[in-house]
Amino acid sequence: MIDYAIYRIAVLVPTLFAVSLAVFLVLHLVPGDPARNAAGPDAEEEDIALIREHYGLDQPLWTQYGTYLVRVAQGDLGESFRSRRPVLDEVLRRLPATVELAGYAMIFAVILGVGMGVVASMRPNSWLDQIIGALSAFGISVPVFFLGLLLMMVFAARLQWLPPSGRGTWSHLVLPVVTLGLPYVATFARVARSTMLEVLSEDYIRTARAKGLVQRAVIWRHALINAAIPLVTLLGVYFGRLLGGAVIVETIFAWPGLGRYMVDGIIQRDLQVVQGCILFFATAIVVVNLMVDLLYSVLDPRIARG
């Protein structure tokens, strides 16, 4: 187990290295002169040359990557072409908002989704199962931005129960978390239902029933624990997708997080900001996937040995 953990953490280093190289190279393929973009349309040639020199944009690509790596290792993600502020500061200032949003959305999706899936699996093809099935078809198909605007229209504008946008109290959290989490409630419900149905047909479930265990113990203690393994794998995959969805949800609800910062960076062609955000997202996803894999090997020790 510990060997496996050390191996996985050691593999992390080249992975992050590759991620940084990919992000760096890809964003240097952007057409146009970054110095000219940063300076604006009316800038003098001398100013553009100064900017080019200041940011090292006149150096060969590999030198730029070298200095970039050294800077990133020192925690320097460069500074925004527009606001002139360090990207890392801006990222760290917005990070708690995104973590809060994505974290609560994940908790919401897991609890409600797995709960619905388990309930649906207990009586397959019953009316309850069919309602849950219809709800999850809805959740998978509705575009998050449309869902967000609908919820905003009903609960913020018409009923005035919740604030329409911004961040602060827990009531600000409700609409963005529900919007971001609902499609994943649907996905978790579908997966939980099908894995539970599989597990419930296993011999050890029949044994558990035969020795007289009540339904509640069979479902929640015997079956769900064994159905948990595929669900945990999904957690890693969906954490990344959730971050992707956060980009849209933050835009709708004026949520002051990383996603909105990145979209603004793209629209203003502020490459340092985009690069910093993508590197940050990528690192977060790689680290979360590692944690999920480790959790996975705790749940199923055969994986670490394999």
Partner 1 sequence: MTGFIIFLLATRRYMAIVGLGVLAVFFAAALAAPLIYSWSAATLVNLSQALAPPSLTLPLGADEMGRDMIARLVWGARVSLIVAGTSVSVALVAGLLIGGLCGYYDNRITFVTMRAMDAVISFPRILVAIMLITILGPGMASLTLAIAISSVPVFARLFRGPVLSLKTRDFVLASRSLGAGDMRLLFRHVMPNISALIIVQGSISLAEAVLIASGLSFLGLGPQPPVPEWGAMIAQSRSHLMSSPHVVLVPGIALFLLVLALNLVGDGLRDFTDPKAGRAIARPA
* Angle, CA 178 vertex, CA 175 and CA 183 arms, to 5°: 140
Element (H, E) at 223: none
287 binds partner 1 (CB under 8 A): no
# of chain residues touching partner 1 (CB under 8 A): 44
When asked if residue 61 is in the footprint of partner 1 (CB under 8 A), the reply is no
Rounded CA gap, 296 and 306, in Å? Answer: 13
Candidate segments 1-9, 108-116, 121-129, 140-148, binder of partner 1 by CB under 8 A: 140-148
CA distances from 270 to 13, 147, 208, 267 (A): 28, 30, 60, 8
x/- track of binding to partner 1 for residues 143-182 (CB under 8 A): xxxx--xx-xx---x-------------------------
Binder among 86, 230, 240, 256 for partner 1 (CB under 8 A): 240
Pick the closer one to partner 1 by CB: 136 or 297: 136
CB 176 within 8 A of CB 148: yes
Stretch that binds partner 1, among 79-87, 95-103, 215-223, 266-274 (CB under 8 A): 266-274
Nearer to partner 1, 187 or 219 (CB): 187
Give the number of other CB atoms < 10 A from CB of residue 186. Answer: 25
Range 108-137, binding partner 1 (CB under 8 A): 137
Shortest Å distance, C-beta 255 to partner 1: 14
Other residues' Cβ atoms within 10 Å of the Cβ of residue 144: 19
Contact indicator for 117, 129 with CB cutoff of 8 Å: no
CB of 113 to partner 1, least distance (A): 17
Query: CA 141, CA 135: separation in Å to the nearest integer?
Result: 10
245 interacts with partner 1 by CB under 8 A:
yes
**Where does this chain touch partner 1 (CB under 8 A) — which range of 38-46, 73-81, 283-291, 298-306?**
283-291
Q: CA 144 to CA 151: how far, in whole Å?
A: 10
77 belongs to the binding site for partner 1 (CB under 8 A)? no
Please provide residue 79's backbone torsions phi and psi, each rounded to the nearest 5 degrees.
-125, 150
* Beta carbons of 292 and 235 less than 8 angstroms apart: yes
Contact residues for partner 1, defined by CB under 8 A = 15, 18, 23, 26-27, 29-31, 137-138, 140-146, 149-150, 152-153, 157, 237, 240-245, 247-248, 251, 262-263, 266-267, 271, 274, 278, 281-282, 285-286, 289
